[in-house]
Structure 1
Amino acid sequence: MPGEAMHQKGADGARRAKTWLDATTRVRMSWTNEDAVHASRLEFEWPFGGQPYSFDVGGMLCGGEFEGHFFVAECKNYADAADQGTHYDDWVAKCYLTRRDHHRLADHFMWITWHPFRVTKWKSLCSPQSVIDGLLLPHNRKRIFGVDGADEAKAQIDQDLVKDVADRLWLLVLAEKQEKLVITPQDRALIISKQVEKGEM
């Protein structure tokens, strides 16, 4: 797929994910990486090499145990598993780094896709070992810890942080019909108006 088409497909996925998240009524505010004001909240930099990385969607959750929690999300508008596994390994490394260096900007990390991947390892994708595996990839060792060797990188990994990050990972699989099976805009407006009346917005 040409680069421009891939970009458009990715942007469409981010917008659709944002729309679905908003429709859960558990998101107080949200934005994508194309937002004129809030996009910078999704942009970060690898410690070594000076290269940037970013997330696709971000926002604040509301209600219950998630009240006031910030989230960032990676969206994969894919029709099959494709190379999601490779991207996922880098994503968990980004989550670790963001939680380590910018913990106030992200309490939850969501991977939102339209097709599952690594199905034989699905149950372990949000495990501490999955985070460690991503961190120890050669290119991630270099740009996160500034070292080439696996043992050197492993010695710098904060195991408590690894578990903390793993507990904050979400795997969400959407479908086109599922996107339609949400609260209507009219009913959502009623909920928001009630929240405003109660001073919750």
Structure 2
Amino acid sequence: MRDLLITLIVLWILPKAVKRPAIGIMGWVWISVMNPHRLAWGFAYNFPFAMIMAAATMLGLVVTKDKRQFPVTPATISLILFILWMNVSSLFAINFDQIYGSWSKIMKVLFMTLVAMSVLNTKQHIRWLVWTLVVSLGYYGVKGGVFTLVSGGGYTVWGPSGSYIEENNSLALATIMLIPLLRYLQLTEEKPWIRRGLVVAMGLCAVSVLGSYSRGAHS
């Protein structure tokens, strides 16, 4: 059932990603950060949803006339130089035959980051991105906080298996980084009930970090 639901959601987003690449970026961020397919147990678990979403977004860049302009700033130039340096240093790796897996993953993420910088060019786009990150990571933060309270801290909070945030340290670090985004939305949201919900979410995320028993995150 989860496999089918995730697949239907992705199929619903794909045509929108082609028409509006900014929506494609949101879909790619959702899949890459939340890893909803890792919550399934069937065919969706290893299905390349992120790659398909990225392809639809790139197609949208070709067939649409949506405004896109890469911001040339010291930060973006530094990022590009850092990417180039990683490629150069990779060529001289001691164990060159062992680096492809990690190199491929990080280059895919950085490439889509550069695409996102080009297509997310309005305040509304940035707010959509923040909400996407909040929903994607907040799911685990809120769930982990509730789990910690209910279990009395008797178990460790982990992320979805097979994802970047599977390890307790990785999930705890991501959850800590999420709290300022929750605070930003709480300060700028107009609806009182949403503001109250965000306050609760911040508290549960903090509890989730404690329940991760991550020494790195706690420090």
Q: Which TM-score band applies after superposition, normalised by the shorter structure? A: under 0.3
TM-score, normalised via structure 1 length: 0.28
Structure with the greater alpha carbon radius of gyration = 2
TM-score, normalised via structure 2 length: 0.26
The structure with more helix, counted as a fraction of residues: 2
